[in-house]
């Protein structure tokens, strides 16, 4: 049988670094050759070799409506007929920003960008300008994009400045970032004791998705709010993944904690490249052209991206009852998975947050990056390939989230559980 994916990967390695345009696509964490996708429909993906996969990646959480939703596709097509890009203002930009503001009341003003990375990068610059301070606090295992200030490993203890987490990040830049243990209130307090007058902001994923799914406790998030407010620092919630994933709005409303700025992406672009950040008017007014914080983008507010976002948010607003439905389906699926692993005597912890989840191959609770790293990555790789061989597409890395979309039907879960039960026979 011809393996077109393998041929394409060899070809790609000759022109793309590692054969990919984003590292995790290379299957480096699980081994093997990545599959090359030709199309997606509803909850399914199809590769160049004609294989069908029930998709639990959903373009890394972007496609909450599933693949090629007809209203989103039509919105993109209709917009494209009028023009793809103008480099000028359009009404659709206003419409999408207004929809975000209506769904998330603390967003007095919104700036559209092209990715989650741009959103967090710009929010940090804005926070530093507003506070006239230089230090940023982040948390181990939280990924906020690939900008220099946030590609930082943890130091040894709460009072240790960061060191670079990537080549090409100067130590002088990394030294402006404190990376602390997630869900550790005492470490956060110590950081503010040592550096409070220099801390410009704390940025946190209220539901982490890049050490696998790990929810912040409400007490931890409450402490971030109290400490930042007391010290005059800003609190930034990175809701690039969690925004519109749990409800029509942001996760911050579920925990009743109001940050100063929120970063968004993924779902709000309906599958096209998009990002946004926003918050209180007094802060956002510092952005150019109103203020002296420069941020710009030729394709920011791109007509196709905002059209896809408007269509997606329109469906989500009209079908808010489906959030409960996919949470129910995801919970039932995770419980059934736990039962299958128990039958095989395989130690697994499944962290679930509404319609996202991660299977950690460990027998201990996972509540931060240290405990996440105890999971058996080799066993996850074996599990991943067993699923791939039987037509199920999970995230190709232990420390990533799986996602359920509105397109997943009860019959899909029945099918996938039957396939997983067969796959586990080889464990």
Whether 266 is catalytic is yes
**Residue 351's closest CA among 182, 157, 189?**
182
Polymer length in residues for the chain = 427
Which residue among the candidates 138, 182, 195, 266 is catalytic per the annotation?
A: 266
| Residues 356 and 209 sit within 8 Å (Cβ to Cβ) | yes
The pair of three-digit structure tokens given for residue 112, joined into one six-digit string: 């559209």
Our separate counts of H helices and E strands in the chain read 15, 18
Alpha helices in 56-199 (DSSP H): 58-61, 70-82, 91-103, 116-131, 171-174, 185-195
Strand partners for 278: 110, 262
Helix 377-389 and helix 410-423, axial crossing angle in degrees, nearest 10: 120
**Residue 277's closest CA among 91, 116, 95?**
116
Which residue among the candidates 44, 53, 143, 380 is catalytic per the annotation?
A: 143
φ, ψ dihedrals at 103, nearest 5°: -80, -30
Alpha helices in 232-349 (DSSP H): 252-255, 281-284, 303-318, 321-344
Q: Tokens 């995770």 map to which residue?
A: 334
Say which residues have a Cβ less than 8 Å from residue 191's Cβ, sequence separation at least 6.
137, 158, 159, 178, 180, 199
Which residue among the candidates 238, 260, 368, 412 is catalytic per the annotation?
A: 238
Instruction: Indicate the SS3 state at residue 396.
Output: coil
Q: What is the DSSP string of 202-256?
A: EEE-SEE-SSSSEEPPHHHHHHHHHHHHHHT-EEEEE-TTTTTTSSSS-THHHHT
- For residues 82-94, one letter each, b for 16 or more C-beta atoms within 10 angstroms of the residue's C-beta and e for the rest, the string is eeeeeeeebebbe
Number of Cα atoms under 13 Å in the Cβ half of residue 104: 35
d(CA 66, CA 54): 11
Which active-site residues does the annotation give?
A: 143, 238, 266
């Amino acid at each position: 049988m011809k393996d077109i994916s393998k041929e394409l990967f060899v070809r790609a390695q000759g022109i793309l670094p590692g054969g990919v345009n984003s590292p995790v696509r290379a299957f480096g964490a699980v081994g093997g050759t990545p599959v090359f996708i030709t199309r997606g429909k509803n909850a399914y993906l199809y590769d160049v070799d004609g294989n069908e996969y029930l998709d639990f990646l959903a373009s890394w959480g972007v496609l909450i409506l599933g693949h090629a939703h007809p209203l989103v596709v039509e919105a993109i097509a209709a917009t494209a007929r009028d023009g793809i890009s103008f480099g000028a203002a359009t009404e659709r930009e206003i419409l999408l920003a207004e929809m975000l503001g209506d769904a998330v009341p603390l967003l007095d003003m919104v700036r559209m960008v092209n990715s989650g990375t741009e959103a967090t990068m710009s929010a940090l610059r804005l926070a530093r300008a507003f506070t006239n301070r230089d230090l940023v606090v982040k948390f181990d295992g939280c990924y906020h994009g690939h900008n220099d200030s946030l590609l930082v490993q943890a130091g040894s203890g709460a009072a240790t400045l960061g060191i670079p987490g990537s080549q090409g990040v100067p130590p002088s830049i990394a030294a402006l970032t404190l990376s602390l243990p997630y869900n550790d209130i005492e470490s956060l307090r110590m950081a503010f004791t040592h550096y409070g007058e220099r801390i410009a902001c704390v940025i946190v994923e209220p539901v982490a998705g890049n050490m696998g799914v790990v929810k912040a406790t409400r007490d931890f998030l409450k402490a971030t709010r109290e400490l930042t407010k007391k010290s005059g620092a800003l609190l930034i919630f990175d809701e690039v993944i969690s925004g519109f994933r749990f409800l029509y709005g942001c996760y911050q409303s579920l925990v009743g904690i109001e940050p100063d700025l929120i970063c968004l992406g993924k779902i709000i672009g309906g599958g096209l490249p998009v990002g946004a950040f926003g918050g209180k008017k007094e802060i956002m007014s510092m952005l150019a052209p109103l203020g002296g914080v420069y941020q710009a983008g030729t394709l920011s507010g791109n007509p196709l991206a905002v059209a896809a976002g408007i269509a997606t948010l329109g469906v989500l607003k009209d079908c808010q009852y489906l959030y409960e439905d996919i949470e129910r389906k995801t919970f039932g699926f995770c419980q059934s998975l736990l039962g299958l692993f128990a039958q095989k005597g395989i130690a697994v912890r499944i962290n679930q947050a509404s319609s996202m989840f991660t299977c950690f191959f460990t027998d201990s609770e996972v509540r931060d990056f240290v405990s996440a790293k105890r999971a058996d990555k080799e066993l996850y790789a074996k599990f991943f390939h067993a699923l791939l061989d039987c037509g199920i597409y999970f995230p190709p890395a232990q420390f990533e989230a799986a996602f359920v979309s509105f397109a997943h039907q009860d019959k899909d879960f029945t099918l996938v559980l039957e396939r997983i039960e067969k796959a586990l026979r080889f464990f």
